[in-house]
Chain A
Amino acid sequence: MARKQIDARGFSCPQPVLLATQAMNTTEGKELEVLVDNEASLENVGRAAQSNGWTITASEEVGQDYKLVLSK
């Protein structure tokens, strides 16, 4: 499955959720990888995924950052 990537590092809320939402709305049938650099953004993107019915297929730490993989 092709995977689109969003780099939301350096942004605080609500930017990571906005970027993820915009990308998910234009990512038919693909996975979206969201990179954030703080736990608050990780939690917020996770909540957005839950409320939008997206599936979180992976959540992991990548060095000092965090990566979420979302799919519809």
Chain B
Amino acid sequence: MSRAVKNIFATTLGIIAVGSIIGVLAGFLQQAGNPANMAICVACFGRDIAGAIGFHRAAVVQYMRPEILGFVLGSFAAALAFKEFKPSGGSAPATRFVLGMIAMIGALVFLGCPWRVVLRLAGGDGNALIGLAGLVAGVWIGTLFFKNGYNLGRSQVQSWSAGLMLPLIMAGLLALRLIFPPVDGETQSGVLWYSLSGPGAAFAPLGFALAAGLGIGFLAQRSRFCTMGAIRDIILFRQMYLMYGFIALLVAAFITNLALGQFNPGFEGQPVAHTMWFWNFMGMVTAGLAFALAGGCPGRQLFMSGEGNADAGVFVLGLLAGAALSHNFGLASSPAGIGPHGMAAVIIGMAVLLFIGAANCKRS
């Protein structure tokens, strides 16, 4: 255990600390301007980035979120600092791209990733309980596949350049954000799109958002923080390690929200949420299963892509494509309810996931 013990963030106290820091930062990011009960949602912010570069034209969700860029770059810095940058890839890239797309589609039916499930709960949104139940159900289905030999095959060692692709893409997007900052009253600044209203128009100051993203990326890489993994490891192994981080995030965000006056319990009229409980549930079943089959929640996929894992990078690109599809095809929900084609998207998405799961079971 000598190597494992050296990494203090990969201890129980370490991951509790990391979860707590993320929860507190989420509360303060919300206070500083990020959308309520969203604060640092990986799926929502990925959707905003897709909008910022014109992948979709939903006018209320377009902003180049520095937090997400920071996640990858912070993880990249940690991986370099601790000699864990190991370029690898080649494990069913097309399948991982599709998993990313479906994960985002499911998340946008619920309106949030597992991180936002926690943050919505911490903000008092009762609908998030349904989302949490859906997430657990989706991950549980995924564990059934794992017990039957599911895997997407081994990744291979790749060149440094392959491992650098996602960090470079994020650095490029950060450069665009710096070169083309938002302009008051303008929907475009250079090549980037910006929202004038809605969640895309709610953002924390650049410096705070980027510093928070870099810090979280660094710490999460060291601790292996993963919200989907927290549920999966309990079901598969009765292992609590990741769950301590998940709970710490919830408790810290809840306390921070209470302290900042951001806790508003209820089901109706919650920020960027709807009350169609069945589709909240099914959206997160779909997302949870996709995350399980891909091996990590969207945050973890970002952190792994910072470590040089090109397979995780392909999943992240799939998330962006899924966000574009969701808003271009009317799949995404809004506070008014699910999109016109949201039901079809969930049903088709689940069918594809079950096919992927069954087709990749390799009983020894």
Contact = CB atoms under 8 A, between A and B. Distances in A.
Do chains A and B interact in one complex?
yes
A39 B274 CA distance: 41
Nearest to B153: A10
B4 A43 contact: yes
A59 B3 contact: yes
B239 A48 contact: yes
A59 B1 contact: yes
User: Chain A contact residues (Cβ within 8 angstroms of B): what range?
Assistant: 20 to 34
Most buried by A among B7, B151, B156, B238: B151
Given A39-B3, A66-B3, A10 B91 contact: yes
A11 to B, nearest CB: 6
A64 interface: yes
A38 B229 contact: no
B278 to A, nearest CB: 30
Nearest to A48: B237
Chain B contact-residue range equals 20 to 34
Interface string A9-26: 111111101100110000
B3 A61 contact: yes
Contacts of B241: 47
B31 interface: no
A40 B3 contact: no
Contacts of A14: 146, 229, 232-233, 236-237, 295
Given A10-B91, A14-B232, A59-B2, A51 B237 contact: yes
A31 to B, nearest CB: 16
Nearest to A17: B237
A18 B325 CA distance: 35
B54 to A, nearest CB: 32
B4 A46 contact: yes
A34 interface: no
A37 B91 CA distance: 15
B229 A42 contact: no
Contacts of B296: 12-13
A46 B86 contact: no
Contacts of B237: 14, 17, 21, 48, 51
Contact of B1 (A15, A21, A40, A56): A56
A13 B4 contact: no
Contact of B224 (A18, A40, A46, A64): A40
Given A21-B237, A37-B86, A12 B304 contact: yes
A30 B155 CA distance: 29
A51 B12 CA distance: 13
Interface string A24-64: 00000000000001111011101110010000100101001
A14 B151 CA distance: 9
Nearest to B226: A13
Interface of A: 9-15, 17-18, 21-22, 37-40, 42-44, 46-48, 51, 56, 59, 61, 64, 66
